[in-house]
Amino acid sequence: MDEPQFFQFETDFVAELRCIPMQVRFKLDTCGVKLKLSHWNHFSQPERQALVCLPCDTAPAIEAYRSHVQAQVSHHTGQPAALLPIDPEPPWHSTHLPAQVQTQAQTLQIALDDQQWQQLSPLQRFALLKLSQKGHENHNFLPALQEFALVASP
């Protein structure tokens, strides 16, 4: 099982796992499952913890994770979760700073560059991508930049 890695900007909800943490969202995008918060809310604490800890980093582990999530959703709701296309070259693996992250940083008058992006882990990059999506609640974007040492903390 993977060692859980929670971000500081998630501390207000990870103790109870009442929201889907970034590391689980990362795994869901990796295995191509659209898990809704309504699905997550059906899961018991041990079931949520399993999704945090189960590996999802090799082809067999990715398939096992997908099957596990689908079994849990089907068990609780009577039908599987929707599947998402899996990007063979996801933007969090790119060496170039994605435009949406740059745009979100610019709204805060922060300039980021490819070198800073390259120093981040794939999970950190994924978090910044999710936190910079249009229509997404972006209040954790600046705390994430601070946590990842891309800007100074106040």
Give the per-residue SS3 of the chain: CCCCCCCHHHHHHHCCCCCCCHHHHHHHHHHCEECCHHHHHHCCHHHHHHHHHCCCCCHHHHHHHHHHHHHHHHHHHCCCCEECCCCCCCHHHCCCCCHHHHHHHHHCCCCCCHHHHHCCCHHHHHHHHHHCCCCCCCCCHHHHHHHCCCCCCC
**pLDDT over threshold 90, residue 14:** no
The pLDDT tens digits for 22-74 are: 999 999 999 999 999 999 999 999 999 999 999 999 999 999 999 999 999 99
Q: Quote the pLDDT of residue 136.
A: 66
Looking at the chain, how many residues does it have?
Answer: 154
Q: Which of 91, 13, 81 is nearest to 52 (CA)?
A: 13
The pLDDT tens digits for 111-144 are: 999 999 999 999 999 999 999 998 766 789 999 9
Domain segments of the chain as ranges: 8-83, 91-147
Give every CB contact of residue 20 below 8 A, 6+ residues apart in sequence.
28, 35, 37, 40
- pTM tops 0.75: yes
